[in-house]
């Protein structure tokens, strides 16, 4: 009995867990204020990504496409980017930042977007828009390597690298949230406020839970400004909550500007949130206030009510973004559950060196498989054909049919989640996230017991 880390053995991916690198770059770009990314590729590279964002957040987002067609795919399509930049600037007078995001096709044909950006800076922007502040940022995101996770990580780094400008120290903390939900950002900002920490929350997407205002505004935008990005080089420290989603940018700021970096922990569960608060205390010197100790106490009380009676020994499969999956697995273990299968949807070679995975390999004393480069067929195949018995599945909506078909209770968590209402509003991080997750898991099990006619539960002995 042990924790094994292996790569998917079968050739071909069936029902992928992730989408491609440009999707991650697009998610980073919509976290910036006054920004619309141009995806240099076929229109579907934007259309489907926008659709997933809209399905998940139930909001509308602005992203543009250079809309490469056959001629461009054969002879080069830089002209399409030139036209796209001009059209975008004409139609959107407020736009200041345009990340130009490559795709598989335009990387293969070798379109030189860096050279084109130099040309546009020297010609179009000077001649036609001399009085506007405009930043064209090249983002290379070929989709034949990595995944939406590495695409997000690289784009965040490229954008920070472009803007970061050394001047006077600002005494602030850079916080790279990673690929989270608005509810997570609200929970993180709450913790920072309670600890009286002045922080710049980067690629900030709290307003993806947008109000419908009398003005009729119906498009969601991130709120990270150009000044926020510039000032990242003047912070007192950086903290990247997710190793694989923002970690690169934080490490860049350390190597180029000497900004000390703390990577993780992804504050999912009590243990990780405790460590996160201790890190904040150590970095800033600010004490942990009684209000957060009380919130922790409420979370512990909630978990105490649920763990031993209902959650202990339950076998769980978890898939999705790697930091989320690992954080959820750690939390489940603290709840005396038994994560049996973790599916990481890409082939990042660094997973084997991840200290959290090393810790799982050392400490887990039951059968746990961690599969890299995994797909959702792996989950289905193991349940149907290889005797994997599960009490619960944690993951995003793309895997729901495996849960439904095999009558396994499921808690929707991660991106994209579109078949349950309002999931983006609830945090998985912090003490609030620990409460929400534990209650969701317990309620999923309770509902399952009702449907399966477990009389003891139906007679309500709790
Ligand atoms: S795999 Fe290539 S063609 Fe498909 S959406 Fe991604 S970048 Fe576009």
- The atom number, within ligand 1, closest to the CA of 41 reads 8
Q: Could you tell me if the CB of 41 is within 6 A of ligand 1?
A: yes
Q: Could you tell me if the CB of 103 is within 6 A of ligand 1?
A: yes
Distance 336 CA to ligand 1 centre (A): 41
Q: Could you tell me if the CB of 46 is within 6 A of ligand 1?
A: no
β-pair partners for 339:
316
* H helical segments located in 58-91: 70-75, 78-91
Supply the Cα-derived Rg of the chain in whole angstroms.
23
Residue owning tokens 């991106």 = 415
By CB atoms closer than 10 A (0-12, 13-18, 19+), residue 430 is buried
- pTM score: 0.96
Q: Could you tell me if the CB of 231 is within 6 A of ligand 1?
A: no
Direct distance between the N- and C-terminal alpha carbons of the chain, in angstroms, rounded to an integer: 33
Q: Ligand 1 pocket check: which of 23, 44, 155 to mutate, most ligand atoms within 8 Å of Cβ?
A: 44
By CB atoms closer than 10 A (0-12, 13-18, 19+), residue 422 is exposed
Distance 144 CA to ligand 1 centre (A): 9
Q: What is the DSSP string of 11-30?
A: SS-SSBSS--HHHHHHHHHT
- The atom number, within ligand 1, closest to the CA of 141 reads 7
The residue whose CA is least distant from atom 6 of ligand 1 is: 20
In the chain, how long is the greatest CA-to-CA distance?
A: 77
Q: Which residues of the chain have pLDDT under 70?
A: 458-462
303 to 299, 443, 458: CA distances (angstroms): 6, 13, 22
- The atom number, within ligand 1, closest to the CA of 23 reads 6
Q: Could you tell me if the CB of 45 is within 6 A of ligand 1?
A: yes
Q: Could you tell me if the CB of 104 is within 6 A of ligand 1?
A: yes
Q: Could you tell me if the CB of 101 is within 6 A of ligand 1?
A: no
Q: Could you tell me if the CB of 183 is within 6 A of ligand 1?
A: no
Distance 377 CA to ligand 1 centre (A): 21
Residue range 168-200, pLDDT digits in tens = 999 999 999 999 999 999 999 999 999 999 999
Q: Ligand 1 pocket check: which of 143, 152, 154, 346 to mutate, most ligand atoms within 8 Å of Cβ?
A: 143
Q: What is the pLDDT of residue 246?
A: 98
Residue range 39-75, pLDDT digits in tens = 999 999 999 999 999 999 999 999 999 999 999 888 8
Q: Could you tell me if the CB of 151 is within 6 A of ligand 1?
A: no
């Amino acid at each position: 009995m042990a924790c094994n880390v292996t790569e998917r053995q079968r050739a071909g991916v069936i029902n992928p867990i992730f989408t491609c690198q440009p999707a991650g770059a697009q998610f980073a770009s919509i976290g910036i204020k006054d920004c619309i990314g141009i995806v240099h590729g076929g229109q579907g590279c934007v259309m489907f990504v926008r659709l997933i964002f809209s399905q998940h957040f139930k909001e509308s987002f602005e992203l543009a496409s250079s809309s490469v067609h056959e001629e461009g795919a054969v002879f080069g399509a830089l002209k399409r980017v030139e036209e796209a930049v001009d059209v975008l600037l004409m139609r959107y007078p407020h736009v200041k930042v345009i990340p130009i995001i490559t795709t598989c096709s335009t990387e293969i044909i070798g379109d030189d977007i860096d050279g084109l950006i130099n040309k546009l800076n020297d010609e179009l922007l000077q001649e036609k828009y001399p009085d506007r502040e405009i930043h064209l940022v090249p983002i290379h995101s070929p989709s034949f390597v990595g995944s939406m996770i590495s695409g997000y990580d690289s784009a965040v780094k490229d954008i920070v690298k472009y803007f970061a400008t050394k001047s006077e120290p600002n005494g602030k903390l850079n916080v790279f949230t990673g690929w989270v939900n608005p509810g997570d950002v609200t929970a993180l900002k709450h913790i920072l406020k309670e600890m009286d920490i002045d922080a710049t929350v980067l690629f900030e997407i709290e307003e993806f839970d947008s109000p419908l205002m009398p003005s009729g505004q119906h498009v969601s935008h991130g709120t990270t400004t150009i000044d926020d990005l510039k000032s990242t080089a003047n912070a007192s420290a950086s903290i990247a909550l997710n190793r694989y989603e923002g970690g690169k940018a934080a490490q860049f700021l350390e190597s180029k500007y000497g900004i000390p970096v703390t990577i993780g922990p992804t504050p999912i569960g009590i243990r990780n949130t405790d460590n996160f608060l201790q890190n904040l205390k150590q970095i800033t010197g600010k004490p942990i206030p009684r209000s957060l100790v009380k919130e922790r106490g409420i979370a512990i009380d909630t978990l105490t009510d649920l763990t031993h009676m209902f959650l202990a020994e339950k076998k769980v499969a978890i898939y999705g973004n790697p930091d989320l999956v690992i954080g959820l697995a750690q939390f489940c273990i603290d709840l005396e559950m038994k994560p049996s299968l973790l599916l990481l949807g890409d082939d990042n070679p660094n997973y084997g060196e991840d200290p959290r995975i090393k810790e799982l390999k050392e400490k887990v004393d039951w059968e746990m498989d961690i599969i890299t480069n995994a797909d959702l067929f792996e989950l289905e195949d193991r349940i149907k054909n290889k005797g994997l018995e599960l009490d619960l599945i944690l993951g995003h909506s793309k895997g729901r049919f495996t849960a439904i078909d095999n009558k396994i209770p499921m808690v929707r968590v991660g991106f994209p989640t579109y078949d349950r209402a309002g999931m983006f509003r609830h945090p998985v991080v912090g003490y609030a996230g620990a409460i929400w997750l534990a209650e969701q898991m317990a309620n999923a099990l309770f509902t399952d017991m009702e449907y399966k006619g477990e009389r003891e539960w139906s007679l309500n002995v709790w």
